[in-house]
Chain A
Amino acid sequence: MDATDTLPTARQLLLRRMRGNMSFLIGFGLLALIVLVALAAPLIAPYDPYAQDLLARNRPPVWYPKGDWLHPLGTDQLGRDYLSRLVYGARISLLIGASVIVISGLIGTALGLAAGYFGGWVDLAVTFIVTTRLSMPVILVALAVVAFIGGSLTVVILVLGLLKWDRFAVVMRSTTQQVRGLDYIAAAEAAGASTPRIILTEILPNVMPHLIVVATLEAASAILLEAALSFLGLGVQPPLPSWGLMISEAKNYMFFSFWLIAIPGTALAILIFAINLAGDGLRDVLTPSER
């Protein structure tokens, strides 16, 4: 192929679209920053996030008149350094987001691929399962299960992962159906490729962009759900520095120490904003035809 010398390759085109897309750049920049902070938590945090100092409770952040640089974001109701807890809390949110989309992504993609590829009764069965799942109120079921098993990080991840695969299944089913009808699948079948081979090497790479976009949406939603569960006291348990739990523990003090809920709340909003922005950007970059 001589054309490769002059025409940009698919990879170059993708990189070019990435560079030209503002929401992709800002979203991923912000997200990368948060991931970096979470990874480097022991280096950034000035204190042990669990160390209590009852003589230094509810210290205001540095921008308040009474604040000082000893605790840049102040301390909480037990005298724990808020910056340290915030930085370690990023780990929990990111861990929740990533693990939940791995679990729910595997379940949803398997179901959606099977339904879209095989059609017929498989499709009917999957559609029924998805409809059943959709009719269940997620937050209520999650709360109930966590209450009965007992809350912990692992339980929250498993419960959300086992509940939140519906969008993966719906999107994978419809995109697989579209790809299934294309000529190159018929060609692969005619060439004698086995069904697993067609699904894994022909279909999966072509529905991948949609999968990634759904994954970002679901990660954001899982992080918000964990925060809500922890806020209600039925998610991640103390003394872990989950942002939702930090808001919950501080809500009785919010009239006097407003920063205690404002800081983790803002952190959550920024993280969700970054993920949404990156997701929007990814959709434009990966599936430019549907823009």
Chain B
Amino acid sequence: MSIIAFVLLRLSGDVAIAIAGEGAQQADIEAVRRNYGLDRPLVVQYLAWLGDALSGNLGNSLYFKTPVSDLVFAKLPITLTLGVLALTFALVLAMIFGILSAAFPNTWIDRLSLSIAVVGQVMPNFFFALLLIMLFSINLRWLPVSGSGTWQHLVMPTVALGYYVAPAFMRLIRASMIEVLSSDYIRTARAKGLPGWKVIGKHALRNALVPVVALAAVQLGFLLGGSVVIETIFAIDGLGYLAYRSITQKDFPVIQVIVLMLSVIYVVLTLLADLINAWLDPRIRVG
């Protein structure tokens, strides 16, 4: 993973020229190359970087001239907050409509939630974000257009980011709820006279959620990557916006660390999903 992040960025352009700036003299470029150790073989560069990274030194930003780790860890909480908020929003939306449409399949409720899912699926999220800005900031003047700091700044980004992943959850919850609701133990629960909401909320939901957990882990990783677009639109001072700025400034040590960090988070999340699934469904633990 770290190799790929490293090689990909090194292969895709002459870093020394990027640092020295366009139109720099050949001598300057050579000086930069020696200063940053870019004249060494790639393998040596990679091993040096990896050795530093493992001992906690992730290098310095070429643009900010400060350690990358300081930069990245300062921005990470904002992006994680946004990611978790968006995931929560998506899950709540999907639970409400997924359960409703599973409880009343092929009714107008089912069709309404299907249309909500379809709209979320087909709308580019940056376009949806701009529509939200038009509606809530320009026309209604309820929310600030961009920036970060107060909770109001996070409302539209959360909705824009969360609505994009909600359809996948809606479909999954609806499908697995319908499957669970047709199983024998649900019929037993109904037969012994439990009220409908209790059957759905207590007996069915727990089992219908098992596949959702795995998807949630994958989607959170996806949300963190996708927040590049949303953070850039709303000028939220998080990891995604930092990534975007670093990319436009060719600040490769920063990009390298952000890509690596998101990859590590993804791996940790997948592992976490397996553990939660084992806790939810004892059969997975044994088998």
Contacts and interface: CB of A to CB of B under 8 A. Distances in A.
A145 interface: yes
Nearest to B263: A135
A158 to B, nearest CB: 11
Contacts of B122: 269-270, 272-273, 276
Given A140-B243, A251-B130, A273-B122, A145 B8 contact: yes
B55 interface: no
B247 A139 contact: no
Interface residues of A, number: 36
Interface in A241-278: 244, 247, 251, 254-255, 258, 261, 265, 268-270, 272-273, 276
A132 B263 CA distance: 9
Interface string A136-149: 11111101110111
Given A147-B250, A265-B130, A268-B124, A139 B226 contact: yes
A228 B225 contact: no
A32 B9 CA distance: 39
Contacts of A261: 127, 130
A272 B121 contact: yes
Listed residue (B4, B12, B232) with the most chain A CB atoms within 10 angstroms of its CB: B12
Interface string B225-268: 11011001000000000011001101000010011001100110
A118 to B, nearest CB: 24
The listed residue with most B CB atoms (<10 A of its CB), out of A138, A147, A268, is: A147
Interface string A120-132: 0000000000001
A132 B4 contact: yes
Interface string B119-140: 1011111110011001000100
Nearest to A132: B1
A138 B130 contact: no
A276 B262 contact: no
A62 interface: no
B118 interface: yes
A232 B244 contact: yes
A262 to B, nearest CB: 8
Contacts of B255: 140, 144
Contact of B259 (A137, A244, A273, A276): A137
A254 B247 CA distance: 26
A219 interface: no
B221 interface: yes
A169 interface: no
Contacts of A255: 134, 138
Interface in B1-17: 1, 4-5, 8-9, 12-13
A144 B134 contact: no
B266 A232 contact: no
Nearest to B261: A137
Nearest to A143: B247
Contact of B124 (A140, A145, A227): A227
B29 interface: no
A132 to B, nearest CB: 6
A91 B9 CA distance: 30
A234 interface: yes
A252 to B, nearest CB: 11
Interface in A23-78: none
A134 interface: yes
Contacts of B12: 144-145, 148-149
A224 interface: yes
A40 to B, nearest CB: 24
B250 A143 contact: no
A231 interface: yes
A44 B169 CA distance: 40
A143 B244 contact: yes
B228 A140 contact: yes
Given A136-B259, A232-B244, A148 B130 contact: no
Contacts of B224: 137
Interface of B: 1, 4-5, 8-9, 12-13, 18, 118-119, 121-127, 130-131, 134, 138, 221-222, 224-226, 228-229, 232, 243-244, 247-248, 250, 255, 258-259, 262-263, 266-267
6 contacts: A135-B266, A137-B259, A144-B255, A148-B12, A247-B127, A276-B121
Q: Which 10 A-B pairs have the closest CB atoms?
A: A137-B225, A148-B12, A265-B127, A148-B13, A272-B122, A273-B122, A135-B263, A137-B262, A147-B247, A135-B266
